[in-house]
Amino acid sequence: MGNSLRYMKYFVYILLLIFLLRFVSLGMFAEDNPYFSDDFYYYTSMAKNTTHLSFVTADGTNPSNGFHPLWLIVLFGTQKLFVPSVNGLVALAVFLIALFYLLNAVVIFWFDSKIFKSQSHKLAVYFWLANPIVWFAALCGTEAALYGLLVSLFVFFLFLYFERRGDNYLIPIYVFGLLAFYARTDFAIIFAFSLLFVLWKKQALFGKLLLVFILFLFSTIPLFAYNKIFYESYLQFSGVAISARELISFSGVLKSLIMWLSKFLCSFFSPFLGALFLGWLFLTKARFGEVKGKALTSLVFLSFAFYLLFFINPVFYSFTMILLPFLAYKQLLIINIILSVVFFLAAIFIKTKITLGDKEWDLIGYAGLIFVGQTLIYSIFLRHFSIWYIYPFLVLFSFIALIVARKVFSERLLVVIFFMLLLINGYYCFGVTSFSIREYCNQLYTKTFAGSRIGSFDSGKLGYYCHDRKIINLDGVANNNAAKAIIKREIASYLVDNVDYVVLPDDRLARYSKIDDKLLSVISLVDGKTKLYRIEENTHLSLMISPQKKIIIGD
């Protein structure tokens, strides 16, 4: 490596300082932080309530199995050990996320130095730590950081097994695979497609890895048994409810597939680095001879082609608007397409030959197969997307970006890129939303009577901070009874029987009234600012004899 890497330790110090200050700021502004997802507060509520009750519940009343076990166990243990305040548990959770995030960087360091035998393993760490979207996905507060760490360890030992073929690597493959499953149950998809990749590329290793996979499947039985015994369903009700609320149609599946692809691809560094990456990938494919595993790796190139059409999601849109407020969405799209074409065409005339080794193409093909496989399964069965779903893929595609970058760019240019990313993180990641959850709770208190039950289809943060009212989850993510009502299309009846008021933003009102058209006949608007509706009295009778749509506008 060049002399420029001698100076990169200074950028590490800058990175660690920004990283430390950022997490300190998150602890200081825990209530009004814009990065934590609503689902994060389901976990913190469950950890607190389960400490005092004999069952898992987010609202203290309704049971829920809408959680991934390992992250809840970690938060539950933290709650039992430290007995923190409301904001204290949030701050401790952020500290644990930071720890898992840093440990993931260590695994990336190992991967690059031991698998690729590269001298640029420090660069791999910086690619990971300086990536603003990785930060955002981790800081949503869900299981993402823990899950990503375990997936990284699984992939690390899987590729060690590919290279060295020692049976001793099968044990950590099994252990970290099982832990990854309990961190997020859809890891079973990744394991299954890993097995397909071995069958396609490493047939000699397939038999022993198949035995490990069978043992893995047997080891998942306790979770399914727990769900069936205590919750009458083998699967988490949250996933079933999410699938049920997305009205099934071919166009819906296609829309979900495009959304998944676009939101994954746009989260890759930035539109401009993505343009560079896309051009060089196609250059390698098109100009420099036969590529091993063409059928498999072509899936990767196909998925990256979507990058040209769908590259900005709300995360990157707001991110870009802060840095480049004078550019509109269409202008950014045009710039990205032009850059992609320019870099692709320019690459054709460059004489330097770029070659990738078998291990590098194996990683590209492996990542592509898993990405496409999980994309299809999610699009067909779940039809829902959250930014943290793509977290393990960010690990794999960070490796791929590094493979291309270190063969194309000078080290000095990479240093500049890292420094710019650090500045972006330092500027972007200190924002605090103007929305105050305490103020919102106070507004609800003034519009509702003491002891009333308030339903919400996104109730995580409300339930965690609005202690003077009973907050009931309605979307089924953290309330199995509500999930059953959604599955049966009986939302209106559930509201009448279980809540006094409901918070219904316009988009939620439109979505859930399509699932149950009686919903509009049992609510009346109380306050337009908070989108608070009252459940109408005597609606038991109206539900039986008056199915027509009607909404009464209140005071």
pLDDT computed for residue 169 by the predictor: 94
Provide block-wise average pLDDT over 10 residues at a time, the chain (555 residues).
50 58 58 74 90 83 88 92 84 86 85 73 66 72 92 94 89 97 93 91 90 96 90 78 58 59 47 48 50 47 41 43 48 52 54 66 78 72 69 74 60 55 45 63 90 89 89 88 87 91 86 83 84 74 37 30
Task: State how far the Cα of 179 lies from the Cα of 146, in Å rounded to an integer.
Answer: 10
Tokens matching residue 84 = 């923190």
Beta strand segments in 480-522, E: 501-503
pLDDT computed for residue 534 by the predictor: 92
CA dihedral 180, 183, 184, 186 (to 10 degrees): 30
Q: Which of 263, 235, 242 is nearest to 511 (CA)?
A: 242
470 bridge partner residues: 453
SS3 state of residue 73 = helix
CB neighbours of 369 closer than 8 A, spacing ≥ 6? 193, 196, 197, 200, 296, 299
Q: Residue 208 is inside which H or E element, if any?
A: helix 206-219
472 bridge partner residues: 455
CB neighbours of 385 closer than 8 A, spacing ≥ 6? 256, 259, 260, 263, 378
Residues 466-471: contacts with CB within 8 Å, 24+ apart?
466/437, 466/440, 466/441, 468/441, 469/441, 469/444, 469/445, 470/59, 470/60, 470/61, 471/59
Q: Residue 48 is inside which H or E element, if any?
A: helix 38-52
State the pairing for strand pair 453-456/501-503.
parallel
pLDDT computed for residue 472 by the predictor: 93
CB neighbours of 238 closer than 8 A, spacing ≥ 6? 64, 65, 66, 67, 476, 477, 478, 483
Domains of the chain, by residue range, sit at: 3-30+65-428, 437-553
Residues 504 and 531: beta-carbon distance below 8 Å = yes
pLDDT computed for residue 145 by the predictor: 92
Whole-prediction pTM value? 0.79
State the pairing for strand pair 523-527/470-473.
unpaired
CA dihedral 444, 447, 450, 452 (to 10 degrees): -70
Instruction: DSSP letter for 525, please.
Output: E
Residue 316 to residues 238, 423, 428, 531, Cα–Cα distance (Å): 27, 16, 11, 28
Q: What are phi and psi of 63, to 5 degrees?
A: -70, 155
Residue 107 to residues 112, 125, 360, 438, 552, Cα–Cα distance (Å): 9, 9, 17, 40, 58
Task: State how far the Cα of 68 lies from the Cα of 74, in Å rounded to an integer.
Answer: 11
Residue 370 to residues 322, 356, 503, Cα–Cα distance (Å): 33, 20, 39
pLDDT computed for residue 246 by the predictor: 56
Q: What does the radius of gyration of the chain's CA atoms come to, in whole angstroms?
A: 25
pLDDT computed for residue 426 by the predictor: 42
Task: State how far the Cα of 465 lies from the Cα of 79, in Å rounded to an integer.
Answer: 17
Place of tokens 């166990």: 73
pLDDT computed for residue 289 by the predictor: 45
Task: State how far the Cα of 437 lies from the Cα of 30, in Å rounded to an integer.
Answer: 10
Q: Residue 119 is inside which H or E element, if any?
A: none
End-to-end CA distance of the chain: 70
pLDDT computed for residue 304 by the predictor: 45
